[in-house]
Homo-oligomer: A and B are copies of this chain.
Amino acid sequence: MHYLVLLLDLGGTFVFAISGAMVGIRRRLDVFGVLVLSFAAGNAGGITRDLLIGAVPPAAIADWRYVVVSVVAGLITFLWYPITNRFGREVLWFDAIGLSFFAVAGAEKALAHGIHPMMAALLGMLTGIGGGILRDVLVSGIPTVLRADIYALAALAGASVVVSAHYLGIPPTVAAVVGGVLCFVLRFMAIRRGWHLPTAWSAQDVPSPDPARPENENG
């Protein structure tokens, strides 16, 4: 199971590092800034999980492969930017795959460290959304993770499958596949069909007090 977590973690790191690099490039960071953002997006979720469950030093620090994977993903994105830039929509699929990998890996690792099942599912979710949150905070936007259609919820669903399977005695590999697929499908459908959860405004059918508020504009 250690091997399973490692594989999922590295896969998720690769995919999220690409998303970090793309955001960095769009914000016109130099190549080194882009690589820092690749590493942050690819590893913040896993590092936060490891700090919270007491797995110190975190895998992304103790094991050099996480950095290498992040840097390779960042360099590919940077060097081939005229090409990668065209894959605007496709990046969403990559991102959904990364989310699934991390949600499953995060829940597995938290369970292996004896964390309470409900918290293990939430830590799986956090592993999935942590990298995207840091990525967006560093370029000072509201994290898309908090706004995107059924994003964190998809991660929580996938992680919950892993946790439930653990208590039902289902083998972790099977649970990882089922949980990962569920997370991906939920996110996929949300993107495709525009599924989304209610906001307080829509739920209450009350006009928003700040319909055209530009969010924020310091620099």
Contacts and interface: CB of A to CB of B under 8 A. Distances in A.
Interface of A: 19, 22-34, 36-37, 47, 51-54, 56-58, 61-64, 67, 78-79, 81-82, 85, 92, 115-116, 118-119, 122-123, 129, 133, 136-144, 146-150, 152-153, 196-201, 203-204, 206, 208-210, 213-219
A201 B31 CA distance: 10
Among A36, A115, A209, the one with the most B-chain Cβ atoms within 10 Å of its Cβ is A36
A62 B123 CA distance: 11
A183 to B, nearest CB: 14
Nearest to A52: B61
Nearest to A28: B199
B57 A142 contact: no
A198 B116 CA distance: 47
Contacts of A118: 64, 67
Given A19-B218, A136-B218, A144-B218, 15 more contacts: A24-B146, A25-B201, A30-B147, A30-B199, A32-B197, A36-B146, A51-B51, A61-B115, A63-B116, A81-B204, A140-B140, A140-B141, A140-B218, A142-B218, A215-B216
7 nearest A-B pairs in the assembled complex, by CB-CB distance: A141-B216, A144-B219, A30-B197, A54-B56, A33-B146, A81-B200, A25-B200
11 contacts: A24-B146, A26-B210, A27-B215, A30-B199, A31-B199, A31-B203, A52-B61, A67-B118, A141-B218, A214-B218, A215-B215
Contact of A30 (B58, B122, B123, B198): B198
B201 A28 contact: yes
Contacts of A137: 137-138, 140
B215 A217 contact: yes
B85 A209 contact: yes
Nearest to A143: B138
B52 A56 contact: yes
Contact of A61 (B31, B53, B56): B53
A70 B206 CA distance: 25
A215 B141 contact: yes
Contact of A123 (B61, B81, B201): B61
